[in-house]
């Protein structure tokens, strides 16, 4: 399960050189990739076969059919002394009694439904469904060498458009964020003043194609046009994003999956790109790769990313399977202190730093859209407990992009 640090360093050096050409194709001008704005995507008249995005179909080619992966979203409880900031999954190599950070809904053993749905259902809490999309924006080439995996995690209203809780989602069914009367349910994680660090953990991604000897995951060193992470307070294309450390306004778009291209003007994005992630992530020397510790002497930067590859869903050795631990410190999504309850109006056509003029107060509504389809849910309380004035509704969408290099 544990790997040699010298091997990790060698693979990192060789693989980053090999990545250079692939990254230009995979990341440059992401909004121009084919299929990001397909007319009619998600529309399903007459209960026809659900349409899925090209990125979703690419993922079906890149990830072995019928395979499972282990998925969890964790947040550190700042009042629990046994939840260590360097040990989100509770490996506890030093016998300090560390336990894993608090899970939101899992862990989940997920079998992606690439060909029949755009978002895989993960869990239901109250009037909120949690779902995730796994997409590959660039069609994989064989023999397999490089995979860019985009992950879009959402907290949505399961009742809109007649959908029922506990089922997978077409694209148009996962548009609307949760309006659960329990505020904690409608957010993927806590963004309040006492919020703790967040970790997304994925392991056991079984890549298709030839047998692999090694996979290595990266979320850094990928240049200025590679978007890597964003948080949004609204699942619809409203453009209300969190001001997270290192984010640029007008950055490359995340994958668009609304039913028509008419919403495009509302979907400028605010994202952390590769260069800014490097600047704001833990330095290489502060990781303990043998014990999956995201820091050694304590956290020093807003983000941390650690390769969790070559193990299966349960952590047993499995050459070539992909995985990672991504950590976002609470300070990353509360960079404004008292002004942390803002979302960003990304009103620029090209990447540039977010400034005070781009910060807007979060609206009272959870979606504040011109048209919301009829809701047939039995317990729709319509914001019985709205958040405090100026505070966001919560994180309705959490998007990251991870890059895997393979050796066969």
CA dihedral sign of residues 341, 346, 347, 352: positive
| In the chain, where the domains are located | 5-407
For 168, phi and psi rounded to 5 degrees? -70, 165
3-state secondary structure 324-386: EEEEECHHHHCCCHHHCCEEECCCCCCCEECCHHHEEECCCCCCCCCCCCCECCCCCCCCCCC
Contact 5, 290 (CB under 8 A): yes
Per-residue tens of pLDDT for the chain, all 408 residues: 333 333 333 334 334 434 433 333 333 222 222 222 323 333 333 344 557 888 899 999 999 999 999 999 999 999 999 999 999 999 987 778 899 999 999 899 999 999 999 999 999 998 889 999 999 988 877 667 899 999 999 998 888 777 888 899 987 788 777 777 777 888 999 988 889 999 999 999 999 988 899 999 999 888 887 889 999 887 665 567 888 999 988 776 554 443 444 433 344 678 899 999 999 999 999 999 989 999 998 999 999 999 999 999 999 999 999 999 999 999 998 776 656 667 887 777 778 888 877 777 766 544 444 445 556 566 555 554 555 655 666 888 999 999 999 998
**397-407 and 227-232: which strand pairing?**
antiparallel
CA dihedral sign of residues 201, 329, 269, 177: positive
Q: State the DSSP code for 363.
A: P
Contact 362, 241 (CB under 8 A): no
Instruction: Give which of 71, 207, 197 is closest to 131, Cα–Cα.
Output: 71
Contact 99, 112 (CB under 8 A): no
Structure tokens at 234: 């609204």
Q: Which pTM was predicted?
A: 0.84
């Amino acid at each position: 399960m544990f790997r040699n640090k010298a091997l990790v360093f060698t693979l990192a050096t060789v693989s980053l050189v090999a990545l250079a050409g692939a990254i230009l194709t995979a990341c440059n001008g992401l909004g121009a990739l084919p299929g990001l704005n397909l007319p009619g995507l998600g529309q399903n008249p007459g209960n026809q076969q659900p349409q899925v995005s090209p990125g979703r179909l690419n993922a079906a080619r890149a990830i072995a059919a019928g395979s499972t992966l282990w998925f969890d979203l964790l947040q550190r409880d700042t009042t629990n002394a046994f939840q260590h900031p360097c040990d989100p999954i509770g490996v506890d190599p030093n016998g300090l009694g560390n336990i894993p950070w608090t899970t939101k809904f899992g862990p989940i053993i997920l079998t992606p439904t690439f060909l029949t749905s755009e978002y895989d259902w993960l869990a239901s809490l109250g009037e909120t469904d949690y779902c995730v999309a796994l997409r590959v924006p660039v069609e994989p080439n064989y023999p397999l060498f490089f995979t860019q995996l985009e992950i879009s995690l959402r907290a949505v209203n399961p009742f809109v458009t007649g959908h029922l809780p506990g089922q997978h989602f077409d694209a148009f069914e996962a548009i609307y964020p949760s309006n659960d009367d329990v505020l904690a349910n409608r957010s993927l994680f806590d963004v309040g003043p006492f919020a703790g660090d967040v970790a997304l953990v994925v392991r056991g991604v079984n890549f298709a194609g030839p047998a692999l000897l090694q996979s290595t995951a990266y979320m850094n060193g990928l240049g200025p046009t590679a978007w890597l992470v964003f948080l949004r307070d609204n699942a619809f294309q409203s453009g209300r994003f969190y001001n997270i450390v290192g984010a640029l306004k007008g950055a490359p778009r995340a994958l668009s999956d609304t039913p028509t291209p008419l919403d495009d003007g509302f979907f400028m994005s605010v994202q952390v790109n590769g260069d800014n992630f490097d600047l704001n992530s833990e330095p290489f020397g502060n990781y303990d790769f043998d014990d999956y510790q995201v820091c050694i002497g304590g956290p020093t930067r807003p983000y941390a990313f650690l390769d969790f590859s070559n193990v299966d869903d349960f952590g047993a050795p499995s050459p070539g399977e992909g995985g990672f631990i991504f950590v976002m410190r609470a300070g990353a999504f509360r960079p404004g202190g008292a002004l942390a309850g803002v979302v960003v109006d990304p009103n620029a056509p090209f990447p540039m730093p977010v400034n005070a003029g781009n910060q807007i107060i979060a609206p009272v509504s959870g979606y504040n859209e011109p048209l919301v389809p009829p809701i047939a849910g039995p317990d729709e309380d319509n914001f019985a407990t709205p958040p405090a004035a100026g505070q966001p509704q919560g994180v309705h969408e959490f998007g990251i992009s991870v890059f895997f290099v393979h050796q066969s």
